[in-house]
């Protein structure tokens, strides 16, 4: 069975774990920031609504963090279990950021525990808020460090190769390899946009259902939509810089993403479409010269085509769709948040109309899809390499015959975890809706809430 | 000191840290289930859940720290242990995942169900068993390497007296460490009924712990003579371990100074664990991985040690804060906060 060789299975098992983990990792990076912002606004404006927002987000966050921790542990161990040859080689160069990632995670874990269990323990309100800062920093730093590891795999640096072994290793140079800066910015920005969009989705759905506590949800929506706008600009800029990086250092990935075969000047940007039997794009939207602009900031510049890359080193052409979908969703998020902010300036216009709310409700799931698409694009785009230019995935994978069993073991685990997570979150918030909680803890607010 | 000695000492310290904090956690899970089945849960549950809630995530990090660190300092461990441990370590991951996530689901989601309590208790004993396979492998004789393919000899593993001794030792030690900590915690909370119960558990599990330690020594003498001989040369370390055991058991028996008793338990395992590790020197995996040959390049070793010191400067104050807020805050322990 050619399809089920150990290499393919190793790839599938890692892909499955990561696709599942990324959902919770993204939440883990982003949610603490918004909890912290909400609590700060709540204290500053003496607005109990924001305080409750922070509390309720934190409560849901605990559930997702638990899954993030356990799937993160899984991928950490799987690196050595599924790719032992890779870790033996690369461990010499990338151990430092991996190690530092664990430190950041440790730091975050300690303060998250303290933060969650000390809501009413301190006299000064800012003392408790202050505890959220190390959580935000820890979460961000783990994303930074782990992204440098992945960047190293895309653009290895900081060593020389002598007889198949690494020599003259410079750990810092390996960590801050050429692709690290742009990828770190894109990952952080993307995580913050996505989490803002997910929190906006929650508020939009609540408003659509008209269950009450409208003032509370409107505040949540405004705060998160502003964040979507700010961070999606940030992410788009980082994405653009990433594309320019690819054009320069990893041209085969950009060429495969854009189905750009012949090296040419004034290259067209191809949106969607499909390939016919001669590998020519059909049914596509063509933006003349825009690929050159994307790659080098100049419409007439030359863009390297895929034909320059040896055939057995080319990434799969399917990554075109992932790239296009990621970019489209990113532009949608930017557009919808901009529209909301502009329209909310007009007092006579009801910005909370159903169409707007529906679009905002869609933005969370779409943003999470964009994160997944982006990662699939980035990872498939460096095939067949695990260490670009140095080691292929075939040389890196385990040879254990039990990998198929492990695939199903983990598949079962993720199905169980995913189901339980959704059920627990639903139950947690359904059994204790905002209205009830507002009335119980802040009776002064629930009166006249509907009018606001 | 050379890099590899610093590296392995640091890692061994973290593994020891994991052994203590994880034992408390895993044992508590087992006791929570046991108390429920034997209808004593009204006495202990508050005690157990109050301790566990803020620290479960931190416990997990100790383990991640160890396996990331060992691959960093000694990359060839990834090749040998990674290849051989695919199945046992994957099972351990699944058990850890069940435990870690179910903990949050149950605590914040719904009421305590019996199935969950059972899983929580069972994983508490199965995780130490599956993790100890790594320790068993390091004694050598359980894996082969042919044509670049490393495989685990399951039959040898499952029929070896040494592997069973280590597995059982891991399980009883978990129960012993956990009960002696809970006794200390109950005495801090001044919760007499719970204290009397967990004190009984601690005393009960002290005997099998020491018996299994001896059994493991005997099995080791037959399996890996080199390691055993080295341990005999370090007899004084194991003497200190036995001495600490006697102090702990004595204090528990007399029913006083539970704090000192728990420190003695920690020392008992500290000496035994370090003696065991030192006697294995210079091997990490007999006879494939020699510490000196497998250490990473010097620049990475220095970077890791610097990162480690920096990390500790950050972690130690935070850990102290965590402990002061939860473990050693008398009012919190008593349930007033």
pLDDT tens-digit series, residues A12-21: 899 999 999 9
Does the CB of A426 have a partner CB in chain B at under 8 Å?
A: no
Measured between CB atoms, does A420 come within 8 Å of chain B?
yes
Q: Where are the alpha helices (DSSP H) in A250-352?
A: 251-257, 290-296, 319-343
Q: Which pLDDT does position A195 carry in this prediction? A: 95
Q: Does any CB of chain B come closer than 8 Å to the CB of residue A17?
A: no
The Cα–Cα gap between A286 and A418 comes to 40
Q: Render pLDDT for A21-53 as a digit per residue (tens, 0 to 9).
A: 999 999 999 999 999 999 999 888 888 888 888
Please check whether residue B26 is in contact with residue B174, taking contact to mean a CB–CB distance below 8 angstroms: yes
Q: What is the largest CA-CA distance in chain A?
A: 76
Q: Rounded to whole angstroms, how far apart are CA atoms A361 and A433?
A: 19
Q: What is the pLDDT averaged over residues B262-271?
A: 90
Q: What is the pLDDT of residue A279?
A: 74
Cβ atoms of A258 and A270 within 8 Å: the answer is yes
pLDDT of residue A445: 59
B2 interfacial to chain A (CB closer than 8 Å):
no
pLDDT given at position A1:
41
B275 vs A173, A279, A412, CA distance in Å? 39, 66, 41
Tokens matching residue A57:
């987000």
More confident residue, A120 or A109: A109
Structure tokens at B174: 């978990």
B52 touches chain A (CB under 8 A): no
- Residue A450: per-residue pLDDT: 43
For B180-194, what is the mean pLDDT?
Answer: 83
From A315-319, A358-362, B190-194, the region with the lowest mean pLDDT: B190-194
Q: What percent of chain B has pLDDT over 70?
A: 90
d(CA B240, CA B274): 11
Chain B contact for A404 (CB, 8 A cutoff): no
Mean pLDDT of B324-337: 65
* Nearest beta carbon to residue B86 from set A105, A402, A421: A402
Question: For chain B, what is the mean pLDDT?
Answer: 81
Position B210 scores a pLDDT of 85
Mean pLDDT over all residues of chain A?
A: 84
Cα angle for residues A301, A307, A311 (degrees, 5° grid): 150
Neighbours of A389 (CB within 10 A): 13
Distance, in Å, from the CA atom of B25 to the CA atom of A104, rounded to the nearest integer, reads 22
* B67, B77, B86 ranked by CB distance to A398: nearest: B86
User: Which site among A7, A70, A120, A167 would you substitute to test the B interface, given the most B Cβ atoms closer than 10 Å to its Cβ?
Assistant: A70
Number of domains in chain B: 1
pLDDT in the model for residue A2: 44
Q: Please give the distance of CA A317 from its chain centroid, rounded to a whole number.
A: 23
Q: Please tell me the predicted confidence (pLDDT) of residue A145.
A: 93
Is residue A231's pLDDT more than 90?
Answer: yes
Provide the ipTM. Answer: 0.83
- The answer for A 71-110 residues in CB contact with B (under 8 A) is 71-74, 76-85, 87-89, 91-93, 95-96, 98-103, 105-107, 109-110
pTM of the model: 0.87
Domain that holds residue B313: 3-333
- pLDDT confidence of residue A332: 93
Query: What confidence tens digit (pLDDT) does each residue in A296-329 have?
Result: 777 778 788 788 888 888 888 888 888 889 999 9
Contacts of residue A159, defined as CB under 8 A and 6 or more positions apart, other chains included, come to A92, A93, A166, A167, A168, A169, A170, A174
Beta carbons of A117 and B304 less than 8 Å apart = no
Positive or negative torsion for Cα A100, A105, A107, A110: negative
- CA nearest B52 in A: which residue? A113
SS3 B44: helix
Query: Taking the CA of residue A369 as centre, how many other CA atoms within 13 Å lie in the half-sphere pointing to its CB?
Result: 17
Q: Which of A307-321, A362-376, B73-87, B152-166 has the highest mean pLDDT?
A: A362-376
């Amino acid at each position: 069975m050619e399809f089920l060789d150990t290499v393919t299975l190793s790839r599938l098992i890692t892909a499955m774990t990561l696709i599942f983990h990324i959902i919770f990792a993204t939440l883990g990076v982003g949610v603490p920031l918004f909890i912290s912002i909400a609590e700060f606004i709540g204290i500053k404006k003496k607005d109990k609504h924001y305080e409750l927002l922070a509390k309720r987000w934190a409560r849901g966050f605990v559930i997702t963090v638990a899954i993030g921790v356990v799937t993160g542990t899984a991928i950490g161990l799987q690196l050595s279990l599924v790719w032992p040859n890779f870790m033996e080689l690369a461990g010499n160069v990338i151990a430092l950021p991996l190690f530092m990632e664990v430190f950041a995670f440790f730091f975050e874990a300690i303060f998250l525990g303290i933060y969650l269990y000390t809501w009413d323990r301190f006299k000064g309100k800012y003392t408790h808020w202050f505890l959220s800062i190390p959580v935000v920093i820890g979460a961000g730093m783990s994303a930074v460090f782990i992204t440098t590891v992945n960047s190293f795999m895309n653009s290895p640096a900081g060593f020389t190769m002598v007889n198949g072994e690494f020599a003259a290793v410079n750990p810092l140079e390996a960590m801050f390899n050429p692709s690290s800066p742009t990828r770190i910015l894109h990952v952080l920005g993307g995580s913050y946009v996505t989490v803002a969009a997910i929190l906006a989705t929650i508020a939009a759905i609540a408003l659509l259902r008209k269950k009450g506590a409208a003032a509370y949800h409107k505040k949540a929506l405004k705060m998160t939509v502003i964040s979507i706008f700010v961070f999606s600009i940030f992410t788009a800029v980082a994405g653009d810089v990433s594309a320019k990086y690819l054009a320069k250092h990893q041209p085969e990935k950009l060429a495969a993403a854009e189905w750009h075969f012949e090296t040419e000047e004034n290259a067209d940007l191809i949106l969607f479409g499909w390939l016919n039997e001669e590998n020519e794009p059909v049914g596509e939207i063509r933006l003349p010269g825009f690929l050159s602009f994307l790659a080098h900031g100049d419409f007439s510049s030359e863009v390297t085509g895929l034909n320059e890359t040896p055939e057995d080193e080319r990434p799969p052409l399917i990554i075109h769709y992932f790239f296009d979908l990621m970019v489209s969703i990113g532009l949608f998020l930017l557009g919808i948040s901009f529209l909301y902010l502009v329209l909310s300036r007009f007092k006579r216009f009801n910005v909370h109309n159903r169409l707007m709310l529906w679009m905002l409700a869609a933005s969370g799931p779409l943003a999470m899809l964009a994160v997944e698409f982006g990662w699939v694009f980035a990872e498939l785009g460096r095939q067949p390499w695990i260490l670009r230019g140095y080691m292929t995935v075939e040389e890196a994978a385990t040879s254990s015959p039990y990998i198929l069993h492990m695939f199903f073991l983990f598949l079962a685990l993720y199905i169980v975890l995913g189901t339980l997570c959704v059920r627990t979150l639903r139950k947690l918030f359904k059994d204790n809706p905002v209205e009830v909680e507002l009335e119980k803890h802040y009776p002064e607010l629930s009166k006249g809430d509907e009018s606001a | 000191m050379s890099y590899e000695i610093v590296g392995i000492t640091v890692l061994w310290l973290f593994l020891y840290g994991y052994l203590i904090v994880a034992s408390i956690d895993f044992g508590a899970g087992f006791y929570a289930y046991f108390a429920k089945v034997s209808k004593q849960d009204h006495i202990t549950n508050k005690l157990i859940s109050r301790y566990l809630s803020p620290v479960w995530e931190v416990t997990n990090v100790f383990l991640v720290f160890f396996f990331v660190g060992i691959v960093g300092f000694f990359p060839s461990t990834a090749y040998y242990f990674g290849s051989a441990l695919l199945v046992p370590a994957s099972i351990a991951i699944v058990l850890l995942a069940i435990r870690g996530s179910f903990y949050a689901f149950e605590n914040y989601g719904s009421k305590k169900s019996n199935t969950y309590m059972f899983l929580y208790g069972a994983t508490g004993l199965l995780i130490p068993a599956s993790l100890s396979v790594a320790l068993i492998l390091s004694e050598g004789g359980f894996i082969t390497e042919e044509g670049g393919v490393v495989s685990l000899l399951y039959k040898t593993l499952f029929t070896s007296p040494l592997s069973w001794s280590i597995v059982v030792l891991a399980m009883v030690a978990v129960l012993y460490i956990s009960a002696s900590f809970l006794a200390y915690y109950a005495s801090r909370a001044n919760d007499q009924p719970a204290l009397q119960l967990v004190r009984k558990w601690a005393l009960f599990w002290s005997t099998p712990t020491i018996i299994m330690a001896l059994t493991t020594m005997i099995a080791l003498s037959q399996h890996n003579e080199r390691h055993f001989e080295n341990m005999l040369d370090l007899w004084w370390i194991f003497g200190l371990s036995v001495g600490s055991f006697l102090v702990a058991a004595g204090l528990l028996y007399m029913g006083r100074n539970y704090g000192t008793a728990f420190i003695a338990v920690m020392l008992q395992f500290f000496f035994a664990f370090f003696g065991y590790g030192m006697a294995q020197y210079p091997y990490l995996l007999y006879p494939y991985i020699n510490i000196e040959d497998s250490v990473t390049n010097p620049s990475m070793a220095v970077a890791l040690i610097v990162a480690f010191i920096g990390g500790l400067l950050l972690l130690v104050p935070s850990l102290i804060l965590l402990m002061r807020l939860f473990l050693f805050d008398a009012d919190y322990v008593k349930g007033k906060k």
